[in-house]
């Protein structure tokens, strides 16, 4: 890890050459600073786009490239992130700021558990989104109103995914999202077969017939031998 090294303050009227010479002498005489190279360019303080997020994402991506399959472990970014990086002041405005999270839930999965874990998480959400859209448009085709509970669950699920691009999973919010996801998926799994049957055979499955009616169930789940 880089060894912290602070230059002594110099008067405004003094030339920086003596200070630089002192630092160069210290780097050559101290074995602990044998690999220390005096920087020739000091970046100006500034904030990267996204209140510093783009800088954090870029450096975290470099860490992911070193361990793409297994990751580093969840919530360990504070130990692996280059906290002494020279460009840190240009991205975050202050060297004393410690980066503890990537401020992106998707990058967090890739960093903590590897790219395969990220792909699994994304596929899970893609399958849910496809099932929800098929259910919604099947209702539109049958000219029925969608179930309000399913709509609320999946809209909350989608809103969480949108903000996850600029925020992290937190212990106070992630359980709520997984609950919405599970409830919405369960209700959707129960409603999708009936909705599909009504959209393909509206005469057999009128909109006024309850979904739990035995006749509806027998029509929806009829076997080929019943035809």
Dump pLDDT digits (tens) for 68-100.
Answer: 999 999 989 999 988 887 777 777 777 778 888
Each of the 227 residues of the chain gets a pLDDT tens digit; together they read: 454 544 445 444 444 444 445 555 555 556 655 666 666 666 666 677 777 888 889 999 999 999 999 999 998 999 998 888 777 777 777 777 888 899 999 999 999 999 999 999 999 999 999 989 988 888 888 888 888 888 888 888 899 999 999 998 888 888 888 888 888 888 888 886 555 555 555 554 444 455 554 444 444 444 444 44
Residue 47, helix vs strand vs coil = strand
Average pLDDT score over the chain: 75
Closest among 58, 39, 45, 50 to 88, alpha carbons compared: 45
Task: Please tell me the distance from the alpha carbon of residue 36 to that of residue 62, in angstroms, as a whole number.
Answer: 22
pTM over 0.75: no
């Amino acid at each position: 890890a880089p060894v912290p090294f602070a230059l002594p303050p110099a008067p405004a009227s003094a030339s920086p050459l003596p200070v630089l010479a002192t630092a160069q002498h210290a780097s050559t005489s101290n074995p602990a600073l044998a690999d220390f190279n005096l920087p020739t360019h000091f970046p100006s303080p500034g904030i990267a786009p996204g209140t510093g997020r783009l800088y954090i994402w870029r450096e975290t991506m470099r860490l992911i490239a070193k361990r793409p399959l297994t990751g580093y472990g969840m919530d360990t970014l504070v130990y692996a992130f280059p906290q002494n990086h020279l460009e840190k002041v240009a991205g975050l405005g202050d060297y004393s700021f410690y980066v503890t999270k990537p401020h992106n839930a998707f990058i967090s999965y890739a960093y903590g558990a590897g790219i395969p874990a990220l792909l699994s998480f994304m596929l899970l959400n893609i399958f849910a989104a496809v099932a929800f859209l098929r259910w919604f448009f099947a209702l539109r085709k049958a000219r029925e109103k969608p179930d309000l509970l399913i709509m609320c669950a999946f809209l909350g699920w989608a809103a969480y995914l949108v903000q996850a691009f600029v925020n992290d999973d937190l212990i106070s919010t992630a359980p709520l999202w997984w609950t919405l996801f599970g409830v919405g998926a369960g209700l959707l799994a129960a409603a999708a077969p009936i909705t599909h049957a009504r959209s393909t055979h509206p005469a057999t499955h009128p909109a006024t017939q309850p979904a739990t009616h035995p006749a509806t169930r027998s029509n929806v789940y009829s076997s080929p031998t019943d035809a």
